[in-house]
């Protein structure tokens, strides 16, 4: 079992939809959880950073962590075509980041 | 703030030659820099972690004599791919952090290496 599992998609939604992206993990030592957005042939951009169970909101983005289930989510409200990218979850304990494979999202106008 | 640059953004080289990629933190001092490799439609794979003034720590399976990392200052790290082969063709991305374990890493735009 890989440390971090993420459905690679692709996921295609109409503009304005609510998008749900998810990752599961197996290492209970992971304490810090991030979501990155990566456009094609670009470096990842940090979107959200959380370290506790519960929800964290930033504009149209909400990150959710459930440590008991080892499950994290990223919700995107009112999705826009500009949100079309690959979204990578990442997490760590006292070790370097471990990334999921990324989910390719397309928001269709 | 927290801008990381990489140079070059794209390089083509012949098999057997060496290529140097630079990673710079432009507006902060990076205690630690990380080098990743990403194949098409795959996730980022950590190659090595470097701290200013000390030897890099390589991940299992990464040849340290092939991928030379130098972290000369708190704003500059370089990755040199020596004796490049076509299978080294990939997207190389660096990141920089102000902490030793990479809390809130900031990524560069990546360098696409093609070895012919």
B18 has a pLDDT exceeding 80: yes
pLDDT recorded at residue B102: 58
Quick one: closest CA in B to A49, which residue? B104
pLDDT band at A79 (very low <50, low <70, confident <90, very high): very high
A38 has a pLDDT exceeding 90: yes
What pLDDT, in 10s, does the model give residues B83-105?
999 999 999 999 998 876 656 78
A24, containing H or E segment: strand A19-25
**Per the CB < 8 Å rule, is B43 touching A46?**
no
Enumerate the residues of chain A whose CB falls inside 8 A of the CB of residue B108. Answer: 43
Quick one: closest CA in A to B108, which residue? A43
What is the residue-averaged pLDDT of chain B?
91
Is B38 in a helix, a strand, or coil? strand
Q: Kindly state the DSSP code that residue A41 receives in the 8-state scheme.
A: T
Of B103, B104, B107, the CB nearest to A44: B107
Bridge partner list, B19: B81
Sign, CA torsion A89/A17/A68/A5: negative
Give A19→chain B minimum CA distance, Å.
Answer: 20
**Per the CB < 8 Å rule, is B104 touching A46?**
yes
Interchain contact B58–A (C-beta under 8 A): no
Tokens of A78: 């009112």
Q: What is d(CA A85, CA A65) in angstroms, rounded to the nearest whole number? A: 22
Of A45, A88, A94, the CB nearest to B101: A94
Tokens 């083509």 locate to B12
Q: Give the best residue of B21, B100, B105, B106 to mutate against chain A (max A CB count within 10 A).
A: B105
Q: What is d(CA B76, CA B96) in angstroms, rounded to the nearest whole number? A: 10
What pLDDT, in 10s, does the model give residues B52-89?
878 899 999 999 999 999 988 899 999 999 999 999 99
pLDDT band at B1 (very low <50, low <70, confident <90, very high): low
């Amino acid at each position: 079992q890989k440390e971090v599992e993420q459905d690679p998609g692709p996921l295609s939604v109409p503009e304005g939809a609510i998008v749900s992206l998810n990752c599961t993990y197996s290492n209970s030592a992971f304490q810090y959880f991030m979501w990155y957005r990566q456009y094609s042939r670009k470096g990842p951009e940090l979107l959200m950073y959380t370290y506790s169970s519960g929800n964290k909101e930033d504009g149209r983005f909400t990150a959710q962590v459930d440590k008991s289930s080892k499950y994290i989510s990223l919700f995107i409200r009112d999705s826009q075509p500009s949100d079309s990218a690959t979204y990578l979850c990442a997490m760590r304990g006292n070790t370097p980041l471990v990334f999921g494979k990324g989910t390719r999202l397309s928001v269709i106008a | 703030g927290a801008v990381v640059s990489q140079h070059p953004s794209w390089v083509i080289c012949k098999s057997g030659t060496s290529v140097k990629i630079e990673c710079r933190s432009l507006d902060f001092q990076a205690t630690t820099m990380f080098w990743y490799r990403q194949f098409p439609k795959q996730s980022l794979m950590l190659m090595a972690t470097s701290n200013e003034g000390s030897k890099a720590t390589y991940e299992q399976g990464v040849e340290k004599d092939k991928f030379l990392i130098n972290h000369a200052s708190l704003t500059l790290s370089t990755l040199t791919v020596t004796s490049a082969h076509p299978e080294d063709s990939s997207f190389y991305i660096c990141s920089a952090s102000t902490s030793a374990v990479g809390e809130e890493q900031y990524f560069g735009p990546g360098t696409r290496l093609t070895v012919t």
